[in-house]
Chain A
Amino acid sequence: MRTIGLAACLAAALAASPALAQKVIRVWHTETQPNSQEAVKNIARRFEAKHPGVKVEVEALAWGDLEPKIMQSLAAGAPPELSHGQPITCTALQSKGLLLPLDEVVKALGENNIWDQVKRVCRVGNRQYGLVHAAGTSLLIYRKDLAQKLGLKPPKTWADLVANAKAFSTQGMAGITIPGDNLFINILLGELVKANGGLLFDKQNRPQVGSKPVLETLDFIRDLTQYAPKGWEGHGYLETFTNLSAQKAAMMYQGYGRGASLIEKNAPPNLANAEHFDVWVKPVGPSGSEPAAQVDEEPWMLFKGSKNPKEAIEFLKFFYQKENYLEYVQTVPIHLFPITKSLRADKDYQATPMIQRWKSWIEVQEGYLNKDQGKPTLVVDWDDMNSKPYLMEVLGSGILRDMVMDVALEHKPAKDAAARAQKRLEELLKTKGYLK
């Protein structure tokens, strides 16, 4: 009898314990840099301190692992409250009714305070289903000192860029470095097609890889990669930055602002500055009229099936508060642009030492964003965000990467490589019911 009484008391005590009564917000993000991870954790701890009874479980995931993990959690019926994701993933999930709107967070930030470019990501009608954590664009990084020595001018056209790559390749290093993995080849192709005035899919979802702008793009990649390091197709993103900072290559087409930290860390001290590693505005293709860049801007997504969406909204509001958000963006200041106008104009933000050191990198990115020349991966037109929910599958399939490799490595005529990709893409879209 006494044992039963004790067990009952223990059960009652456990039920009343705050640990068990806690509401948990699970947060998945893609900022795997240690200082960024630390910043998110700090923000979570401060939020917990202000909200007793709420626990924030933060998990940093590699880019490549995130999408499968999101899908698996959805299949298991146990999605996290919040997660980063590719803009095209956000659109795909929204189209399946799996996300909750973040309008309350937008309202708290002030709708007019958010950059217009950012509001276009995962917005359906007047509702915001994804809110970008921070934005940064791809950059064409080059060795300024060598360019000056060779008398090279900023490339206006693709032909200029190939000529510059050729000139750089006389300096005992590769003219250009490009990552060969699937994600980055998709990013590259998307922005080049945009810079050449083309489309990847038309309004009826028919692939357009056999069109003139895409064929010209493939020919350009073939010409440019002649000056890439041998075996470039096996290089990952970080390896290409190592090529650049270790003076194995003079230009990097798919560079990003976060690379400034890598240069400061890895390049010889006398070279590790914007006087030696600067950025050019990306050139325009023969059929295009303006430059294009990819915007790396994963949105936060709030999942419908999660347990504590209200608390998650409160957490997001807290995340974007000045002191928290500033701590976050300052961990990678040249890449994580604040989404709010107020923080971008803020003195504390502007005084960030790295921003002072790499000003030209910031200016080029601001140019892309302000002129709306930056789009998310594979998004050539903003309409694609909502009208093409299959871009996530296209990216995952690797069909576009195979097409690029057929031309750049197998030296197949662009037309033949495009015909093969066209057939595979049509089959993919037909299977999924997007193409009749």
Chain B
Amino acid sequence: MEDCLQTIADYGLRSLGIGERLLPRTGFTLCQQFTLIGSGMIWNIYFGTLALIAGFFLAVAVALGKASANPLVRKPAEWFIFIFRGSPLFIQFFFAYFLFLSLKGSYPIFSPLTSATFGALTVLFLNTAGYSAEIFYGALQSIPKGDTEAADAYGLTGWSKFRRVVYPTMLRLAWPAYTNEAIFLFHSTTLVFFAGFPAFQQKGDALYYARYFADRTFNPFVPYPILAVYFILLTLVIIAIFGWMNGRLNRHLPSDARPRLRFRPQLIR
């Protein structure tokens, strides 16, 4: 127990570069594995949360663009969605990393983007914006005709019609699918350190450390289930937060007419 507290003190923030410099090399204890993999989760949460929040705004804009009648706006939005949904995230990471690397050669201002902290975040932000935009677009298409007609009857137009009628209804309809997208995004943050972006001084995410232990001990039956436990907990937290928001979005409906969140995982991006 004493040992374990010491391990947590040494390695609890190892993924940020705080604490013991060397990773454990021999006699790997369960406590070390739990602590380091948990420490790596900091990165998964960092990537997931920031990309999700920033991606939300771009996604709404792109979804409105795709629903627009003007082809000058619609075409770029359609291409944006197709490119990010039609190709593997893994390849997007590689491409972006090498793109940033060559940009850095010509313009030093791009040098932060070659680190995972900002570069991978940018890719995840654009990627989740692409996936969410498709979800929001689908929701925009299924807004009941009566709702917009009622808005017209009240004399609402332009911005106020969007803000008071279209936008809340779109969010309400898209929310269950968007919850899955959020879970899925957190899962795909595990790809960051496998695709180009280097982990400086062994500061990696949860999967990076899980793989470190699996490679060192030749025993996949301990680190990967630990990783699984962490991710299932994270998934439950996301479902709780999004479920609460879902309740708020639907609070004007009678309680038996409120749509329930159902976890339907998508797979790989």
Q: Do A and B bind each other?
A: no
